Amino acid sequence: MAMRAAKDEKLHVPDDLRDFLLEKAALYERPDFIPDDPIAVPHRFSDKADIELAGFIAATLAWGQRKTILASARAFMDRLDGAPGDFMKHATADDIRTAAKGFVHRTFQPRDAELFLHALQALTHAYGGLESAFVPDGANHNAEACLTAFHARFFEAAAQRGYAADRTRKHVATPARGSAAKRLNMFLRWMVRPSRRGVDFGIWNQIAPSQLMVPLDVHTGNVGRKLGLLDRKQNDWKAVELLTAALREVDPDDPVRLDFALFGLGAIEQF
């Protein structure tokens, strides 16, 4: 079932592998996937503003053990009074400082939380929500352009509030620096992909599912290599491009649905 090609070349996906990936994607893209995944945090909400803000924060904190991620993201929601959209509308600088005080998740510290809340508040006020803050000027709305535009806007918004990027920069990845941007690509998957299977939300319509890039982490990367979908050792943006190109051969309209297959095989089945 595996396939091989010269390093970094586009790979052809044989029919048996295509069928295997689609079967595994259907197996894991189901509502019972939600409770143990960070996507459970935005699933607590029904309002678009709440969903996208809770999703962004949960995705930002999504590294480490999933139980710890969920606990930290839920604790952050509690600091926003369980209503992130309303908090962003009305919070004062003192409210933000209080919400951020003492919050720690691995290397994400109170100063990072304070900068995040100020930047997110400024962006939601300026763009009417996070969706337009991700959409670049011009016609190119692919994931790379969206992530590059958002990174610049996020730290510009923080700077306007008096917060230099400093160490917080590492918590908002950009392809411009070669990062795989796993957490942001995962967030885009949540917001953009259709909700018909009950997992992702499909609440954004300015970016098409076909333009998304795979959230590449140790699980998806290793499974991709074992299946012959990826022949690059580094988990960087080039690897994201190569793996997504292979997945587009399986489903050109919705390649990132195969993220469920790769993640399920790696994290759940220990493939």
Do residues 246 and 13 lie in contact, with contact meaning Cβ atoms separated by under 8 Å?
yes
Cα gap 95→112, rounded to integer Å: 15
What secondary structure letter does DSSP report for 44?
G
Strand partners, 105: 108
Mean pLDDT of 206-221: 96
Q: How far is CA 147 from CA 126, 181, 203, in A?
A: 18, 8, 18
pLDDT greater at residue 259 or residue 1:
259
* SS3 call for 108: strand
Residue 187 confidence (pLDDT) above 70: yes
Residue 11 confidence (pLDDT) above 90: no
Mean pLDDT of 122-151: 94
At residue 6, the pLDDT reads 41
Alpha-helix runs per DSSP H in 161-236: 182-192, 218-226
Beta-carbon contacts of 101 under 8 Å, excluding residues fewer than 6 positions away, are 110
Residue 10 confidence (pLDDT) above 70: no
At residue 4, the pLDDT reads 46
